[in-house]
Structures are given as structure tokens and as C-alpha cells.
Amino acid sequence: MRILVCVKRVPAPGARINLTADAQAIDTAHLGFTTSPHEECAVEAAVQLVEGHGGEATVLTLGPVEAEEQLRYAVSVGMTAAVLLPIDGADWDPQRTAAAITEVVRRLEAADGPFDLILFGNESADAGNFQVGIRVAHALGRPMVNGAKGIAISEGAVHVRREADAGQETYELPLPAAVGVKEGINLPRYPTMKGRLASKRVEVERMEPDAETGGLRMVRLQRPAERASTTVILGRGPDAAPAVVDLLDELGVLA
């Protein structure tokens, strides 16, 4: 099998997210970076599929050159090749991102053959536009299901399971196909030391992205008002029990 996983480098913030002075980005001065959680699960899913079915799994990102860190991380947990589409400055809008990825996928497939499966995260952890995956799949003319909580391959098809309000939905998509993976589908492994060291030796292929700017514009980011909370001490020790019962009653959780 040949699998492609598209990921995005995003900040790893604490409880409070600080913005830059111009409100155009998250202040990352003290932050590390990570891969969007849905995409970490997509990587894990790809690694498991290749472990089960053989083949190769390529990880791709469009982002700053520092995103090589996320590509190597994916290799350190089992991806076999990495492609970086380097951009300068701020994020590209989803339309442009999707167009650039589509074009690169075509080039990669022209050189080495088609990908049986292209995996995306359900949405990115920072922008959350929910667009890139479906745009790429549409441009490539491939079927796609988002929100995947289960993936299996058999007889030239991918079987995707996702959770609905009441029950589960199961899809069967003929390969080649695209799937948007949702966190919870698996528990991503940590890299081993040997995996980390191996990832240092992998050559990250760089391909220049090229696409027209799309229509979506961000005006600014705004921090939501902080939810102030107050602590009310109901009492100490056994004496607090009646007050706790009253509160639970008030909340309507007692039968």
C-alpha cells in the first residue's frame, strides 16, 4: 500500500493562550510545537495499516521550514518518507493550501505511482477551517469521509467507521480514497529513542508549493472573555455533607 498523511505544525499552548500584539497569531515565544491531534492519530493509523498490510507511508506538510520537526517526529513513530512544502510567513488560507497540496500529490503520484489512501486530520488544531482535506480529495476526484473513528482495508476498499448521534455509520470507499481521521481512533505511540535517531537520518524531500491565494481572510484573533470562577467552600469534613447534598439536589442530579 501507499499511504499519504497530511499534517500541520501547530503551537502546543498551556491553559491560557496568549496572542501576538497585532492579534494575528498565537504568541509562541514560550511554546513548543506539535502536530494537530487528529493528524497524530492519522499518522498512527497509517503506521498501523503499513504494519498490517506492508507498503510505505509518506508524511507531508505545508508550513514553515521548522515544520520539518513535525515531519521527523512522524518518521520517528514509523512513517517511511517525508515531504515538506515550505512557505514563508503566515499560514496559507485553506483554498490555497489545498491547491498546493493537490498539485504536489499529482507530482508525487506521477513519479512513484498513486497513493491508495490519503489521510487528513478532521481539522487543524489552530485554524479549524475543516477545508483542506475535502478540497484536496475533491480536486483529485477521490471519495472522502471525514470524522473517521475506524479504518480498515480489504479487497481494494477502505472501510470507514464513524460515530453518529445514535449509533455508528460505516462507509466503504473504493481505493484510491481520502479519509479525515478524528482523535480517539487510536492512541498514538511515542517515538522510541531509536526511532528518533532514525528520523534524524531521513532525508526530507522539499517541494516548492505554488498556488493562488484563495478567498478566506482572517481579520484578527480575539481571546474570549476569561471564565472567572469562584471557589465556595461548603464546609470541612463530615459537617460539609448536608451542604453537598443540598447542592447536588439543586443541580438536579439526585433522583
Partner 1 sequence: MSDTTSGITTDTDPAGSPERTVPATARCVVIGAGIVGNCLVGHLSRLGWTDMVLLDKGPLPNPGGSTGHASNFIFPTDHTKEMALLTLESQRQYVELGMNSTCGGIEVARDEDRLEEFRRRMTSATAWDIESRLLTPAEIKELVPFINEEIVLGGFYTPSVSVVDSLQTGTLMRQEAIDAGALSVFATTEVLDLEVEDGTIRAVVTDKGRIEAEHVVIACGVWSPRIAAMAGANIPLTPAVHQMADVGPIDVLAQTNKEVAYPIVRDMDTFCYERQSAGSMEVGSYAHRPIFHHPDDIPSNEASALSPTELPFTADDFDDQMEQAIDLMDMLGDAEIKYAINGLLSLTPDAMPVLGETVEVRNLWSAAAVWIKEGPGIARLVAEWMTYGYPQVCDPHSSDIARFYPHEKTEHHIYARCAEHFNKTYGIVHPREQWASQRGMRRSPFYGREEALGAVFFDARGWERPQWYESNADLMDRYPGRCEPRPHEWDARWWSPITNAEHLHLREHVGMVDLTAFNEFDFEGVGVVDYLQRMTVNNVDVPVGRSVYTPLLTPNGGFRGDLTIMRLGATHYRVVTGAFDGARDAYWFGRHLPDDGSVTFTDRTSGICTIGVWGPRAEAVLAKIVTGPSQAYDVSQAGFPYGAVRDVLIDGVPCTMFRISYVGENGWEVYTSTEHGLRVWDTIWEAGQDHDIRPIGIGVYAVTGRIEKGYRLMGAELESEYDPVEAGLARPKVKSAEFIGKKAYLAAREAEPVATLCTLQMLDHAGADGTPRYPTGGNEPILTVDGERIVDAHGRVSRVTTAGTAPSLDAYLLLAYLPPEHAVEGTELRVMYMNELFPVTVARVGSQPLFDPDDKRMKS
Least separation in angstroms between CB 15 and partner 1: 5
Least separation in angstroms between CB 207 and partner 1: 23
Least separation in angstroms between CB 16 and partner 1: 4
Q: Which is nearer to partner 1, 170 or 192 (CB)?
A: 192
SS3 state of residue 195: helix
Least separation in angstroms between CB 206 and partner 1: 18
Angle in degrees, 0-180, between the axes of helices 68-76 and 193-201, rounded to the nearest 10: 130
Least separation in angstroms between CB 53 and partner 1: 23
Cα angle, residue 34 at apex, residues 162 and 178 outer, rounded to 5°: 35
Q: Which is nearer to partner 1, 176 or 191 (CB)?
A: 191
Q: Which is nearer to partner 1, 154 or 231 (CB)?
A: 231
Q: Are 41 and 181 in contact (CB under 8 A)?
A: yes
Q: Are 87 and 209 in contact (CB under 8 A)?
A: yes
Return the number of other C-beta atoms located less than 10 Å from residue 71's C-beta. 26
Burial class (CB in 10 A: 0-12, 13-18, 19+), 38: buried
Angle in degrees, 0-180, between the axes of helices 94-112 and 132-140, rounded to the nearest 10: 40
Identify the CA nearest to 105 among candidates 211, 4, 2. 4
Q: Which chain residues interact with partner 1 by CB under 8 A?
A: 12-18, 29-33, 69, 189-194, 196-197, 200, 226-231, 233, 236
Least separation in angstroms between CB 113 and partner 1: 32
Q: Which is nearer to partner 1, 29 or 253 (CB)?
A: 29
DSSP class of residue 24 equals: S
